[in-house]
Chain A
Amino acid sequence: KAGVTQTPRYLIKTRGQQVTLSCSPISGHRSVSWYQQTPGQGLQFLFEYFSETQRNKGNFPGRFSGRQFSNSRSEMNVSTLELGDSALYLCASKPVPLANNEQFFGPGTRLTVL
């Protein structure tokens, strides 16, 4: 079974631009979560989608948004990029949003904002 895939793996943008990252979960997984990872803040939860609905949202500004499609693939968008948005963005999937289910992570998208 293929793992979680994320595209692109690396991205360089300039301040003020917007970016869209894509995540394809493991086949059969319907829950997709997004995280931002930085050396200073560690792993921070962005949002979770299940069956095309956002179920939970972390404490990020409205510039960060996401969506999920009917095939469970998910995208996240960051508008008006700031230098502080430079980070590794991780996507994780699991079959359904249950507390005892582990998440399966993709390799991440490394975003650099210049």
Chain B
Amino acid sequence: AQSVTQLGSHVSVSEGALVLLRCNYSSSVPPYLFWYVQYPNQGLQLLLKYTTGATLVKGINGFEAEFKKSETSFHLTKPSAHMSDAAEYFCAVSEESNYQLIWGAGTKLIIKP
């Protein structure tokens, strides 16, 4: 069965520092990969997705993620954190054979001034 692991339920970085949120998945076939963000008291919003093609995917708000098949990873990065990035981030995966999204547990990103 597919699974998604997000390392760290909470990640704290200083404003202006690099943001790195980790996501590893288990899939025996090429997956589709997604990162969503949830701000307090709101629904989830798509940040970026990988389907096929270029393995480095750029998303909204300066975020990007790289699909590394050999490492079964899809880590999310942003070069310089902003206070407005404080939110919870979810990684999710789906496959052609079973298109239901499998979700990670989420990582709360805390930005220190």
Contacts and interface: CB of A to CB of B under 8 A. Distances in A.
Interface of A: 4, 42-43, 45, 48, 56, 90, 92, 97-100, 102-108
Given A90-B43, A92-B43, A99-B94, 6 more contacts: A42-B103, A42-B105, A56-B100, A90-B44, A99-B98, A102-B49
Nearest to B42: A107
Contacts of A48: 100
A48 B94 CA distance: 15
Contacts of A108: 42-43
A102 B106 contact: no
B74 to A, nearest CB: 14
Contacts of B98: 99
30 contacts: A42-B103, A42-B104, A43-B90, A43-B103, A43-B106, A45-B100, A45-B101, A45-B103, A56-B100, A90-B43, A90-B44, A92-B43, A92-B44, A97-B99, A99-B32, A99-B94, A99-B95, A99-B99, A100-B51, A100-B94, A102-B34, A102-B49, A103-B101, A104-B46, A105-B43, A105-B44, A106-B43, A107-B42, A107-B43, A108-B42
A98 B95 CA distance: 9
Contacts of B103: 42-43, 45
Contacts of A45: 100-101, 103
B45 interface: yes
Contacts, number: 46
Q: Which of A42, A99, A103, A105 counts the most B-chain CB atoms under 10 A from its CB?
A: A99
Contacts of A97: 99
Nearest to B103: A43
A110 to B, nearest CB: 8
B96 interface: yes
B106 A42 contact: yes
